Amino acid sequence: MVKVKKIEIIPLGGIGEFGMNCMGIRYGDEMIIVDAGMGFPEETPYGVDISIPNFDFLEDYRDDLTALILTHGHEDHIGALPYILKKFNLPVYASRFTAALADKRLDEHKMLDEVLLHRVKPNDVAKIGSFEIEFIHASHSLVECFSLAIKTPLGTLIHTGDYKIDDTPVIGKPYDLKTLAKYGDEGVLALLADSTNATVPGRTPSERDVIPAFEEIFEQAEGRIIISTFSSSIHRLQIIFEIAHAFDRKVCVLGRSMLKNVEIAEELGLLDIPHNTLVELGESRSLYADEIVYLVTGSQGETRAALWNLATSTYKGLEIEKGDTVVLSARIIPGNDKAISRLIGHLYKRGANIIEEKRRLIHVSGHASQEDIKIMTETARPKYVVPIHGEYRMLFRHKEFIKNHVEGYTDENVILIENGDVLEFDETGARLLDKKELNRTFIDEESLGEIEYDVIRERKKLAYGGAVSLVVTVNKKTKELAGEPKLSFQGVAGIDLTNGVVSDARKTITEAVEAMTKAQITDTNLFQENLRVHLKRFLQKEIGTKPVIVTTIVEV
C-alpha cells in the first residue's frame, strides 16, 4: 500500500541523444515502461552499428514492472523491443500499425507467440494497476501514433511521444488537441515533451506541403525517377503513389523494410494504392524510362540498402543510369553525413540528376518546432515541463523557449534531466533524487546478439593501442626459461625491428622471469599477470602506448 504519493521518472535512453528512447515511470511499487528504442551511434563503435539501453538496470525493479507502452513504430522507439522482452516478459500496448511492425521484429527473434500484445485505438483507456492511460491521437511522420495521458493518484503526466501539430495530414486526423485540452482543464502535473526541433522557429510544415515539389519533379523528369525516403514515412509513400498514378507512372518498391511497411500499411487500409500502380521488379524492367518510379530504401547512405546497391551496380542487374532523377526525400540523421556524401558521389558518377532536401521542399520533419511546442504547452498547461527526446542543446533550447514565450514558466518548473536521472514528483514539488550510471548495450547486426559494454571497451583499446602477443616457454620441471620469449605486434605504433625496442622488450621479459620464484612461476595466472604488467610498463615507458597484451605460457 502506497503511504506517500510520489512518481519517479527514470529515462534509460533518448535524453541528450538521438534514438534509444526508453523511459520508466514509477508510482509506489508499480512501474510502466514507455517505448524501447534502438540507437544508431554517430561514430560506429568498433564494428557495431546499433545500440540499445542497458535493460539490466531494470533488474532492481523486476517485481515492479507491469507493462510496456509504445507511442509509435519508429525504430528509435520499438527497435529494442525483443531485447527488453527477453529479460522481462511484459504485456505490450500499441496501435494496430505499431503492433504490426512489432510483430515483424518479434518474429525475427522467434518470440511472437510469447508476448501479449494489446492493440489499442485513439481514446482507448488502459487501466494498469495504479495507472490509467489514455491514448491520444498524435500527428507525426508515421501513422497511428500516440501521445499518452498517464493518470496516477498523484496527478496526470502527458508524454507527447514524437509529434507535430499537423492540421492537414495526408493520412488520418490532425493532432487531437481537444482531448489534450480536456486534461489541461483537469490539471496536468508534468508534460514530458519532444525536443527534437526545439531549435527550429515557427511551425513544422504539414506532410501535404511536399506535394507541389513532387508534382514539379514528375512533370520535369524525362527518365526514370528513383525516390528514397524513410520506409516508415507512410504519408510520403501515399503522396508518391498518388502522384505517380496521376503522371501515368508505375511504382516498384525496392528494399526489405520498404516492402514490409508498404505491405503492412496496405493490409491495414492505411495506404491506398491506386489500381494497377504497384508493379514487381520483373515487370518494371519492361517499362520505358518515363513510365516507372522506383521507391527505395537507403536515404542515409546505408551500404546494404537498395539505393547504395543501385548506385554501385550490385542490385539484381539494375543500376542507376545517365538521365535518372534521384530524389533524396529525407533529412540527414546526425552522423550519416559522410555516408550520404559517398552515396551522392556514386550517383553523380553514374550521371544521375540528384534532388536533395536543400534544393526543394521534398521533406518535412515529423517533430514539433517552436510554435508547435508553444501550442502543446499552452493546451496542456502543466505545472512542470520536462524536455525529452534530443541532444542536450535541444533540451536546453526547449527550456529557454518555454521560459521566454509561454507565460508562467521559470527555471523551477522547466526541468532538464539526463539518462539515468531519477526525477521525483510528490505533493510538495519536484526534485532530482538520484543519478544512475547507465551504459548502453550494443547489438551484433549479423547474429542479433547483445555485445556488452566491456567488449566494446576492449575493442576500443585494440583500435587505439593495438595488440601484443607474448609467448613464454618454460621448463616444466625446473621452471626456468626454455628459449627466448616470442613477441608479435599488431597495430602498435612506435615498433620498429631496427630501433631496438623489440629486443629490449624480450630482455625485460627474460629478466622478469629470472627474478621470479618457482612458486610465482608455478601459479600460471599469477605468472601471466606478472609478465603482462612488466611488458605493459616497459612499452608505456619506451613508446608511450598501452596496447592490449595477451600472454601465453608454454611448458616443455
Break the chain into its structural domains and give their ranges: 7-203+365-445, 207-355, 453-555
> What's the whole-number average pLDDT of the chain?
92
Q: Which residues of 474-503 are buried (b: 16+ CB within 10 A; e: fewer)?
A: beeeebebeeebebebeebeebeeeeebee
DSSP 201-266: -SPPPPGGGGHHHHHHHHHH--S-EEEEE-TT-HHHHHHHHHHHHHTT-EEEEESHHHHHHHHHHH
Report CA-CA distances (Å) from 297 to 185, 221, 228: 44, 20, 6
Asked if 526 contacts 520 with a C-beta cutoff of 8 angstroms, the reply is yes
207-355 has which fold?
A: Rossmann fold (3.40.50)
The tens digit of pLDDT for each residue in 67-88 reads 999 999 999 999 999 999 999 9
Cα 321 to Cα 348: distance, rounded to the nearest angstrom = 10
Cβ contacts of residue 370 below 8 Å, gap of 6+? Answer: 197, 198, 200, 201, 202, 401, 405
- Cα-based torsion angle of the residue sequence 171, 283, 219, 226 in order, rounded to the nearest 10 degrees: 70
Is the pLDDT at 443 greater than 90? The verdict is: no
Q: Which among 364, 430, 369 is positioned nearest to 405, based on CA atoms? A: 369
Q: Classify domain 7-203+365-445 by CATH architecture.
A: 4-Layer Sandwich (3.60)
The tens digit of pLDDT for each residue in 283-312 reads 999 999 999 999 999 999 998 899 999 999
49, with CB counted inside 10 A (0-12, 13-18, 19+), is middle
Q: Which among 140, 138, 70 is positioned nearest to 105, based on CA atoms? A: 70
Q: Looking at residues 445-457, what average pLDDT do you find?
A: 68
Is the pLDDT at 1 greater than 60? The verdict is: no
Identify the weakest region by mean pLDDT among 251-255, 260-264, 344-348, 457-461.
457-461
> What is the reported pLDDT for 188?
98
Cα 395 to Cα 382: distance, rounded to the nearest angstrom = 17
Is the pLDDT at 446 greater than 80? The verdict is: no
Residue 7: CB atoms within 10 Å: 22
pLDDT bin (cut points 50, 70, 90) of residue 50 is confident
pLDDT bin (cut points 50, 70, 90) of residue 42 is low
Question: What is the amino acid identity at position 446?
Answer: E
Q: Looking at residues 6-30, what average pLDDT do you find?
A: 95
Take residue 15 and report the three cell numbers written for it: 535524453
List, in sequence order, every beta strand (DSSP E) within 120-159.
125-128, 131-138, 145-151, 156-159
453-555 has which fold?
A: Ubiquitin-like (UB roll) (3.10.20)
Cα 466 to Cα 85: distance, rounded to the nearest angstrom = 37
Q: What is the pTM of this model?
A: 0.84
